Structure 1
């Protein structure tokens, strides 16, 4: 006998419908086996699919599990996969919200992370998610190999401005400064070469950025590539924007406070990710738009 399971699509960090990073949210999957969750994620073929599940820890309100199309489970808070799931929960009336911030806790793996949902006069405004304290990892010094992997010339990598370095606020990504926005747009990575470089320095994904953004009020213009989990390019990546903002503050290229990152423009899905950096604390905030709902039978 088949079972019907509802799903929803949320455009996260979006400036309008059909922009931002599209997320599939599956409701009521608490009894699904791991392999079936992975197969559902493969069916949706989104950069990530998130399952909203009952929490198994008493200090959490909901548990989230997210998978890439290749079945890789994604951990850490403050990415589009978690923010979008909470936006759907709020929009669907599954949460008790008052005006101003209402605080919740989400379980991801065995860890619990805080978040706040802001509402004004009954209208959802934004979700703020705390990430882990920034940890700086290895620097990548072989700029020639990196440039080749990205399809650029070595002089287009601005390692003299800020190091090419792995930084984590829950997920470790290699941050690569690029001279200008035009060079960022020209990047066409060789997935195998980039995969090898990321493994060498202990990075999951590669976040390339320039400091001449297109959108007013933003600090950086970025693209994200993650061959280690089978994502060719992601239009909005909160788990990379958090490390980038902390990296810029640590090197004096941005002031503590709210830092806005533009991403996804090259893909035609412009996203704005807001990152708060203050005394070693990093949080990511953003909005979502529920653009589709449906159900499938298994």
Structure 2
């Protein structure tokens, strides 16, 4: 065993403990798959990451991302939390205001925007309407009529999300999920706030409300991967401006704010990050 630097970072909220936490082992070199998985299971958080030296000259660092059950090729809030921990540990990016993360999904670019870091959403590997049977199952699991779903799409960029669009944020907030009916589906739902609720993308006033229900039987507080895919979908279908803010975690007592911007051919997903716990672990 070795003593390794460790951080627990709150992601997607300017208010500490109101976002989504990720555990980050800063010195992950030398740990094998079994040890990483065991520690991720022990933290019992949605994701635990391990920072490693990059294996390609294009990247600043490498990250491996584990849930309590297995490894993910990419995930959004662990990307921002890992970048925060890597920088806080005294590392410097090769280019000011820009980072390149290496993960199982490939290279993910990050850049600093208005004091917060944002990642470029990875390409969607599955992006198509949801079949009728799956859509009916998802609607039933959320306790809504199929007719309440205005649009749907597979949004897969690592995690396998199904996106549903409802008519309003109010409808999204009222959902009651039956996880036994949901089964192994990962379903996330988005609905707009009224147009006069605030100018799109101004400060932290939300333009959309998002909720993400996971086949593991829990609701995700704030979800970077889904918001990246949803932004592409909403913009492609004319439902969202090129800059907006999504709220998530409201019903869980969180204050998640996901800042989305389309620029330079990419969807940039950003949020505030705060270290809540720092110290060492023996692994």
Asked if these proteins are the same fold (TM beyond 0.5), I'd say yes
1:190 is matched with 178
Alpha-carbon contact 1:259-1:276 (below 8 Å) kept: yes
1:117 is matched with 112
2:49 is matched with 50
- Quick one: structure 1 residues 4 and 194, their matched pair in 2 at CA, closer, same or farther if it must change by over 3 Å? same
- Quick one: structure 1 residues 144 and 137, their matched pair in 2 at CA, closer, same or farther if it must change by over 3 Å? closer
Matched, 1:233 2:219: yes
1:218 is matched with 206
Structure 1 unaligned residues grouped into runs of 5+: 120-124, 199-204
Distance 2:235 2:98 in 1: 27
Distance 1:247 1:29 in 2: 35
- The residue matched to 1:7 in structure 2 has which SS? strand
Correspondence list, 1:249-268, <5 A: 249-255=235-241, 257-268=242-253
Alpha-carbon contact 1:151-1:189 (below 8 Å) kept: yes
The alignment's TM-score, normalised by the length of structure 2, stands at 0.87
Distance 1:245 1:29 in 2: 32
Question: How many residue pairs are counted as aligned between the two chains?
Answer: 274
Correspondence list, 1:10-21, <5 A: 10-21=9-20
1:7 is matched with 6
Distance 1:269 1:97 in 2: 34
Distance 1:27 1:171 in 2: 23
Structure 2 unaligned residues grouped into runs of 5+: 199-203
Q: What per-residue deviation string (whole Å, max 9, x for no partner) do you get for residues 116-140 of structure 1?
A: 2358xxxxx2112112345622324
CA RMSD in angstroms comes to 2.5
- The residue matched to 1:16 in structure 2 has which SS? coil
Residue 96 of structure 1 deviates from its aligned partner by 5.1
- The residue matched to 2:97 in structure 1 has which SS? strand
- Quick one: structure 1 residues 172 and 106, their matched pair in 2 at CA, closer, same or farther if it must change by over 3 Å? same
Distance 1:210 1:118 in 2: 25
Alpha-carbon contact 2:192-2:209 (below 8 Å) kept: yes
Correspondence list, 1:24-43, <5 A: 24-43=23-42
Residue 188 of structure 1 deviates from its aligned partner by 3.0
Correspondence list, 1:1-298, <5 A: 2-70=1-69, 72-76=70-74, 79-95=76-92, 101-109=96-104, 111-117=106-112, 125-134=115-124, 136-142=127-133, 143-155=135-147, 157-159=148-150, 163-169=151-157, 171-196=159-184, 198=185, 205-212=186-193, 217-227=205-215, 230=216, 232-255=218-241, 257-278=242-263, 281-298=266-283
Distance 2:50 2:273 in 1: 17
- The residue matched to 1:136 in structure 2 has which SS? coil
- The residue matched to 1:245 in structure 2 has which SS? helix
Distance 1:96 1:166 in 2: 34
- Quick one: structure 1 residues 249 and 137, their matched pair in 2 at CA, closer, same or farther if it must change by over 3 Å? same
- The residue matched to 1:14 in structure 2 has which SS? coil
Distance 1:114 1:36 in 2: 28
Residue 290 of structure 1 deviates from its aligned partner by 0.5
The alignment's TM-score, normalised by the length of structure 1, stands at 0.83
2:201 is matched with none
